[in-house]
Amino acid sequence: MTPLIRLSAPRLVLVSVLIAATSVPARAATPAEQLATFSAAAAAPAQPMRGRQFFAATHGREWSCASCHGATPTAEGKHAGTGKPIGPLAPMSDPQRFSDTAKSEKWFRRNCNDVLGRECTPGEKADVLAWLMSLGK
């Protein structure tokens, strides 16, 4: 007989999120659904003001999120290195933003590496997304 594994509530939530994240294929999502996923993985509610500060900070490196997406992410930005135009980041300005889980993860991974030199934590993603979702309200 297989022994039962007992997990504390926080560990059970974490295991559930990890199972869901690895077993569900990439799919379309809403910004609110992605925010809920990031917040659950962080085991804490998102803080939009912390997201705003994170977005503007350089984190000890050359670029911040605002370097390419602009100080006002409701408008078009421009890549700091190539000059390539970047569409508005805020979901209220571009309904396609944060509508595909795989794309969101891909761009968070790339951009966080440029800005931080590492992947963003779920809490950082939640904070930034919460702030972006609050723009225009």
Residue 107 domain-assigned (yes or no): yes
pLDDT bracket for residue 8 (50, 70, 90): low
Is position 2 within any domain? no
Using CA atoms, how far residue 125 sits from 6, 55, 130, in Å, is: 30, 10, 8
| pLDDT level of residue 24 (50, 70, 90 thresholds) | very low
CA distance 101 to 124: 16
CA 34 – CA 11 distance, rounded (Å) = 21
Confidence grade of residue 19 (pLDDT, cut at 50, 70, 90): very low
Q: How far is CA 67 from the centre of its chain?
A: 17
Question: Structurally, how many domains does the chain consist of?
Answer: 1
* Enclosing domain of residue 67: 29-134
CATH code for the domain of 117: 1.10.760.10
134 contacts: CB under 8 Å, gap ≥ 6: 48
Q: pLDDT value at position 29?
A: 87
Task: Determine if the pTM surpasses 0.85.
Answer: no
Tell me the per-residue pLDDT of 27-52, one tens digit each, with 9 for 90 and over. 668 999 999 999 999 999 999 999 99
In a domain, 48, yes or no: yes
**Number of Cβ atoms within 10 Å of the Cβ of 96:** 9
